[in-house]
Amino acid sequence: MNLQSIIAPAVAQAFLTLTLLFVMAFWRFRAFRAGDVQVIDRAASKIVWPRYAAQAERSFLNQFETPLLFFVLIAFLAITRIWDPLFVTLAWVWVATRIAHAIVHCTSNALSLRFPTFIAGVVVLVVMWALFAIELLA
């Protein structure tokens, strides 16, 4: 397997984050144009966003939480060259859970769907880190 195979899921995750940035910008612009925004403190730029814009913002911000652990792991895998088809598959599964989580977060925001997708991603990430640690110590 070549280096691109383990880097590609990280690129996909980066594009998900960038997509959510544009989704957030779109909904914020729409909220301003519709007059749905309340500025509660102009000096501090504190804005109360309508629900649809707040959901997109929160989904975007979520991409800087557990994904940090994913990006670090991918970098470590690339540096150490400790990866195989299982790591690549798990990385793509993890990205799929992040995409599903973002879709739910930006649409229905149903916790009954969003939470399981989040937990599934965390479990995959924990498995990946555990496998990396085992390979590193072997």
pLDDT, tens digit, for every residue of 56-110? 999 999 999 999 999 999 999 999 999 999 999 999 999 999 999 999 999 999 9
Domain 3-137 falls in which CATH fold? Answer: Four Helix Bundle (Hemerythrin (Met), subunit A) (1.20.120)
**What tens digit of pLDDT does each residue of 9-68 get?**
999 999 999 999 999 999 989 988 888 887 765 556 678 888 889 999 999 999 999 999
Distance CA(101)–CA(44), nearest Å, equals: 31
Helix (H, G, I), strand (E, B) or coil at 39: strand
Q: Using 50, 70 and 90 to split pLDDT, how confident is the model at 132?
A: very high
Q: What is the pLDDT of residue 43?
A: 56
Would you state the pLDDT for residue 49?
85
Per-residue pLDDT, 97? 98
Report domain extents, the chain.
3-137
Q: Are 62 and 115 in contact (CB under 8 A)?
A: no
